[in-house]
Amino acid sequence: MPTLGVKVKEPVTFVIFGATGDLTRRKLLPALYTLFRDNALPEAFDIIGFARRKHDDRSFCELMQDALREHSRTPVDDASLAEFCSHLSYHRGDLSDPAAFKTLNERFNGNDSLPANRLFYLSIAADLVEQTVSQMHAAELITQPKASPWTRVVVEKPFGGDLQSAQVLNQILLTHLDESQIYRIDHYLGKETVQNILSFRFANTIFEPVFNRTYVDHIEITAAETAGMESGRGAFYDRTGALRDMVANHLFQLLCFVTMEPPDGLDARAIRAEKIKILHALRPAAALPGHPAGCFGQYTGGDGVPAFREEDRVAPDSTTETFAALRMEINNWRWASVPIYLRTGKRMPKKSTEIAIQFRIPAMQLFQHVACAGDVCDLTGVKPNTLIFRIQPDEGIFLQVSAKRPSMQLVVEGVDMDFSYSEKWNKELPEAYERLLLDAMRGDSTLFTRSDEVEAEWTVIEAIRNATKDQPLAPYAAGSWGPPEADAVMLSSGWKNE
């Protein structure tokens, strides 16, 4: 498993395709800037922004400085911004134009000061990836695999739009690149708590023995967002929807980390080998009377918030889901018949991503029969144990247990055992992109997704589509926890809405 705080030793040129886009401004440049300020980047590094818009080095630098002032978590000052900018340059070009790639290659060949190791970041729409990689190949920008200087290509999600397009994309990438050169990014894997799931499960003795169907009643994974279609995201999102945007990658990856078998090591091979087994065993649960396997919703407007169909660059008759709730199963020895609930949505009451593992209630209901000194005890507080991995915000791990309330009566109530990152370490956690960019520069692909994983993810999405094709799209009010119909997806207690 990679570690932060280690300086990248090899010189690198970082080329960003889609350099004037939202992701570059909000995430990539701020992450690179923080790494730069933390002295984690190599002595020799260059960042080339490749895009169509009219800029020169200077105006691109100004654009990026504005972005850093707005989005950097590391404090910015004029001197360090200027120093950072001395590593930045702009390469204007169209992805369909071979000449733009040729001149890019000439920069590597003609300029000795440009580091020859190259990391290409494809921050572009999925349907442009094929063209871009073919152009890179034709312009001889791609060096030999496992050789020096190296070439690595980071591909943003969603990787394809369905199983077939992902397979085609994999084939094309693998025509020009070796699997070891491809870094399919899922930024959830760079989040601190996600990685801590593995430490928590496998560095402690007490939890792993109860992580199975004998003790676990169900697992609930929620990724709720307050955001809607800000920053012109409507066009992308209307084509993509919650299932493909969040479930097919982020939620499935969280699910893999929390349910996979212990790996035989912490390297990419060992971890990916276990994750793929989960994805192969994952499937939508069968619909039961009154309990569909899934529910999809779309937000309506109100309170100054537009409905999804009124958002910028969204079709007024769009049927894209902005909310999904699913009941899944993992068909293996450890998890058979344990319901796994996945839920994600835009315009929810708060931003919250967490995994809640709810354990079974004790076999013997001892406390239901307790009478307290002529009085009846308040038993409503007895709750099943729940272990919560809070991914964001207030990252931490919480265990809910039942304890006797101090009094002369035997009253049992739920209490929390908390481990909160901010209380323990009182320092800001690294951003997911910082970790992942550093790993890509170091050649560590543990936290990136392999081709067969991506295809397995799409296979499950197709199974979900088939299993839920009769489910109508349910409206929900912006600022609510989704359509009321979603409650029926759950078999027992309601969703954890807090």
Catalytic residue among 137, 176, 250, 369: 250
Per CB under 6 A, 238 contacts ligand BG6: no
Opening angle at CA 130, ends 46 and 123, nearest 5: 40
- Asked if the bond preceding 472 is cis, omega within 30° of 0, the reply is no
> Measured from the CB atom, is 225 or 418 closer to ligand BG6?
225
Per CB under 6 A, 353 contacts ligand BG6: yes
> Measured from the CB atom, is 225 or 413 closer to ligand BG6?
225
Least distance in angstroms from the C-beta of 24 to ligand BG6: 14
> Measured from the CB atom, is 254 or 467 closer to ligand BG6?
254
Per CB under 6 A, 394 contacts ligand BG6: no
> Measured from the CB atom, is 91 or 191 closer to ligand BG6?
191
**How far is Cα 310 from Cα 314, in angstroms, rounded to an integer?**
7
Least distance in angstroms from the C-beta of 245 to ligand BG6: 5
**How far is Cα 482 from Cα 478, in angstroms, rounded to an integer?**
8
> Measured from the CB atom, is 225 or 444 closer to ligand BG6?
225
> Measured from the CB atom, is 218 or 347 closer to ligand BG6?
347
Site string for ligand BG6, 179-218 (x = CB under 6 A): ----------------------------------------
> Which residues within the stretch 108-167 sit at the binding site for ligand BG6 (CB under 6 A)?
157
> Which residues within the stretch 44-73 sit at the binding site for ligand BG6 (CB under 6 A)?
none
SS3 127: helix
Least distance in angstroms from the C-beta of 437 to ligand BG6: 15
> Which residues within the stretch 272-311 sit at the binding site for ligand BG6 (CB under 6 A)?
none
State which of residues 46, 217, 220, 245 lies at the interface with ligand BG6 (CB under 6 A): 245
Cβ contacts of 360 within 8 Å, gap of 6 or more: 215, 216, 217, 384
**Concatenated DSSP letters for 153-210?**
EEEPSS-SSSHHHHHHHHHHHHHHS-GGGEEE--GGGGSHHHHHHHHHHHS-SSSGGG
Opening angle at CA 495, ends 490 and 498, nearest 5: 175
Site string for ligand BG6, 214-233 (x = CB under 6 A): -----------x-x------
> Measured from the CB atom, is 50 or 188 closer to ligand BG6?
188
SS3 100: helix
Least distance in angstroms from the C-beta of 389 to ligand BG6: 14
Known active-site residue 250: yes
- Cβ 342 vs Cβ 325: under 8 Å: yes
CA-based nearest residue to 21, from 143, 128, 136: 128
**How far is Cα 219 from Cα 211, in angstroms, rounded to an integer?**
10
The total of other beta-carbon atoms located within 10 Å of residue 177's CB is 20
Least distance in angstroms from the C-beta of 115 to ligand BG6: 29
**How far is Cα 170 from Cα 208, in angstroms, rounded to an integer?**
35
Least distance in angstroms from the C-beta of 434 to ligand BG6: 13
Q: Which residue's Cβ has the minimum distance to ligand BG6?
A: 245
**How far is Cα 161 from Cα 37, in angstroms, rounded to an integer?**
37
Q: How far is CA 379 from the centre of its chain?
A: 39
* Active-site annotation, residues: 250
- Residues at the contact surface with ligand BG6, assessed by CB under 6 A: 157, 225, 227, 245, 353
